A and B are shown apart, each in its own frame.
Chain A
Amino acid sequence: MAPLEPSISGKIMEIHHKNHHNTYVTSYNNALEQLQEALAKGDIATQIALKPAVNFHGGGHLNHTLFWENLAPKSAGGGEPPSGALSKAIDSTYGSLGEFQSKMNAALAGIQGSGWAWLVKDKQTGQIGIRTYANQDPVVGQFQPLLGIDAWEHAYYLQYQNRKAEYFSAIWDVINWKTVEKRFT
């Protein structure tokens, strides 16, 4: 059995990583190359025109990198609840881990189209919160990404088809809360 099964099949992990993530990396590199040329020439119009590609492919690269680190097989601690300061922050914000998970699942289910839901930390206040982002928009600026769940259809379709709620509920068994704690503190 592949390490994240049965929550996420080995085939999904393989295609998601080797094909999807890799395409974001390749396309991001292409955009950067064009950006370097435009910078060298002082071509402002081209620099601006490249922004959506940098955001989308760079965001795809960043989001997936953070996502892989958020996962772990059960044998390596996947699904083991958070402890310490993060656990306290979740309890004081949401009441309990279970309550947080159902709010996060509701946010995921409410995404119209492709996107991500994140547990974030507000850099201004230190508070945690749930935010959704369209497509590959990355978590930048005021918010720091702690835990991301990919709600693109390619993340679950081969295994769950249209039953995305089952994917959102199964993924908690392979969440690596140690990484989330590290990002939080």
Chain B
Amino acid sequence: MASQTHTLPPLPYAYDALEPVISKQIMELHHQKHHQTYINNLNAALSAQASATASNDVPTLISLQQKLRFNAIVSRWGSHEAFVKAFGAELLGLQGSGWGWLVSKGGAKGRLEIVTTKDQDPVNAPDVSVFGVDMWEHAYYLQYLNNKAGYVEGIWKIIHWAEAEKRYTAGVENPLKL
């Protein structure tokens, strides 16, 4: 069976739209080079795997549920500030390349937890990634060098909370859907 081909999804905003928190140069390299390379390698791996497996390894769709107000963070951590502090500590505690995630356990509207994954390990179904912060050095190095605390501090200014709320209440539709 032939494998399906993934392509680089366009960014929903311009490369310079996140300045000054994340520079245009980082966004261009991160999207056009790093993300593209993961897609190329994923396509290569899938193509090699295609003869051995009948199904593509993509996350299962999570059924839509009714909307819920996104106050779960405050009820879990006491305050938004306490959450930001706890999340930042997890990000800075990563040893090596990885990501920090706010995860809804077991599906949409589940218990919220801060989770870190190493390298490019994803958050797996049924858990839902509400939002993620890339802590690979390529995500911040050209602008922040070794000051990763500065990057972590700045990231809160550009977290897309409306999207996070959508994912928390309705789950994540397979982002790699073909």
A residues with CB within 8 A of B: 15, 19-20, 23, 52, 56, 112-115, 134-136, 152-154, 157-158, 161-162
The 10 closest A-B pairs by CB, nearest first: A135-B96, A113-B119, A153-B137, A113-B97, A114-B96, A162-B33, A19-B146, A114-B97, A56-B95, A157-B141
Partner-A contacts on B (CB < 8 A): 29, 33-34, 37, 95-98, 118-120, 136-138, 141-142, 145-146
16 contacts between A and B (CB under 8 A): A15-B145, A15-B146, A19-B145, A56-B95, A112-B119, A113-B118, A114-B96, A136-B96, A152-B137, A153-B136, A153-B138, A154-B146, A157-B138, A157-B142, A162-B29, A162-B138
Say how far B99's CB is from chain A's closest CB, in angstroms.
11
Cα distance, A56 to B98, chains bound together (Å):
15
Report which residue of B95, B98, B118 has the largest number of chain A beta carbons within 10 angstroms of its beta carbon. Answer: B95
Chain A residues with Cβ under 8 A from B119's Cβ?
A: 112-113
CA distance A169 to B161 in the complex (A): 43
In the complex, what distance in Å separates the CA atom of A135 from the CA atom of B141? 17
Residue of B nearest to A59 (CB): B95
* Cα-based distance from A20 to B120 in the complex (angstroms): 23
User: In the complex, how many angstroms separate the beta carbon of B142 from the nearest chain A beta carbon?
Assistant: 7
